[in-house]
Amino acid sequence: MVSKRLMDVPESGTVAIANLVSQLKHDGVEIISFSMGEPDFDTPDNIKQACVKSLNDGFTHYTPSTGIPELRKAIAEKTTRDNKIKCAAKNVLVTPTKHALFMIALAYLDPGDEVILPDPAWVSYEAVIRLAGAKPVYVPTRFEDNFCMSADMMASAVTKNTKMLILNSPSNPTGSVMPRDTLKGIADLCIDKNIQVMSDEIYEHIIYEGEHVSIGSFDGMFDRTLTLSGLSKSYAMTGWRLGWMVAPEKDIAAVNKLQTHSITCCTSFAQTAAVEALRGTQEPKLKMVAEFRKRRDLALDLIRDIKGVECNRPEGAFYLFPKYNRKITSDDLAVYLMKDAHVAITPGRSFGPAGEGFFRLSYATSEENIIAGIDAVKKSLLKL
């Protein structure tokens, strides 16, 4: 019998849809998938070659649990430069970004603690909160406000049990980017109420309008912020499973205690490649983001052409989060589109209660797929 805490954890909607897509494709059904949050580009060649050299040099054994010194230093340099968070190598833990979520939840949350998160939000946040025995407290955001949570909205959810706030900007699933003034208000509230922040900034370089602002860069916030990022999205390195946490030394030590009892350390030769990713040419990353911008504009024009569908203009990441007016749940809509249009989307409800009535569409795929897939979605929705 599995544990009660596991039974309380929601299934990953994105992975569930992806598994169904794989099965249908295996059965010979042609599916256009807009479900997975994964760049369709290859990892840049300079990064792959750095990995190959590392392997050929025999760098295949354990590393320090916190990461190799060269990579920790490169991450600290990048964070100080790009995120305006003054830090050093001692403030960096090299770890898979998603693994960091679990370790943070186990390291800081106790039963009865409450964690505030915007709604909609990536489903894994709720999962790790529940696994730690804590309670997720959703703050519903509005389509009309581009799904951005304000300080006043957050304040209404704060109780004596509030321990942590989870932020994700640019956002999965909405693509929204939190404005500087909004983040400043939230930072002031966290300082006033003594709330810790976990800021997931994995999409920080995939941004089209506005600016990416790290909440940990505001005065008084470094000591209470755990900033996460990584290489998966910006460098098309999803399979490498490599990222980092930037935080005060005491927090690095706390989370690293869990790392030593779980994965021990990140893959050695992948860490060498990560140094090249951060310090080598950034041209492939810039070209990829430019291509995503073109695809966003194309997908947005096509989706807005569907009667009864509305969609905000996402400022970052690579998702659309359209609103539809059909009398069907988002879960049922996903199944219907899979069967009728042979198109995979992710139900909005997978991202929280406020996601009902929406669906997520990833445009991290070819223009050909975007055109054909959205056309199929349009024809299927017109039947409802």
Averages of pLDDT over each 10 residues, the chain, 384 residues: 80 70 80 91 98 98 98 98 98 97 98 97 95 96 96 98 98 97 98 98 96 97 98 97 98 98 98 98 98 98 97 98 95 92 95 96 97 98 92
d(CA 334, CA 354): 17
Number of neighbours of residue 27 by Cβ within 10 angstroms: 7
**Hey, CA dihedral for 52, 53, 56, 62, is it positive or negative?**
negative
Q: pTM of the full predicted structure?
A: 0.95
The C-alpha atoms of residue 270 and residue 194 are separated, in whole angstroms, by 37
What pLDDT shows up at residue 253? 98
CATH number listed for the domain at residues 4-42+284-381: 3.90.1150.10
Q: How far, in Å, CA of 123 to CA of 250, rounded? A: 28
What is the reported pLDDT for 13?
63
DSSP track, 118-185? EES--HHHHHHHHHTT-EEEEEE--GGGTTPPPHHHHHTT--TTEEEEEEESS-TTT-----HHHHHH
Model pLDDT, residue 9: 78
β-strand pairing of 346-347 with 359-362: antiparallel
Please tell me what DSSP assigns to residue 207: B
* CB 161, CB 114: distance < 8 Å: yes
152 exposed, middle or buried (CB, 10 Å; 0-12, 13-18, 19+)?
Answer: exposed
pLDDT at 21 (0 to 100): 75
Q: Do 4-42+284-381 and 47-279 show the same overall fold?
A: no
Cβ(255)–Cβ(103) under 8 Å? yes
What is the reported pLDDT for 15?
67
H/E segment holding residue 186: helix 180-193
Contact present, 54 and 269 (Cβ < 8 Å): yes
| Domain over 47-279 is classified CATH 3.40.50.2300 | no
What pLDDT was estimated at residue 279? 98
DSSP 8-state assignment for residue 350:
G
The predicted pLDDT at position 28 comes to: 83
Boundaries of every domain in the chain: 4-42+284-381, 47-279
Strand-strand pairing, 196-200 and 225-230: parallel
CA distance readout (Å), 218 to 181, 240, 247, 344: 11, 31, 14, 40
Q: List % helix, strand, coil for the chain (3-state, nearest 5).
A: 45, 15, 40
- Within 8 A by CB and 6+ apart from 303, the residues are 309, 311, 320, 322, 361, 374, 377
At 56 the pLDDT is: 98
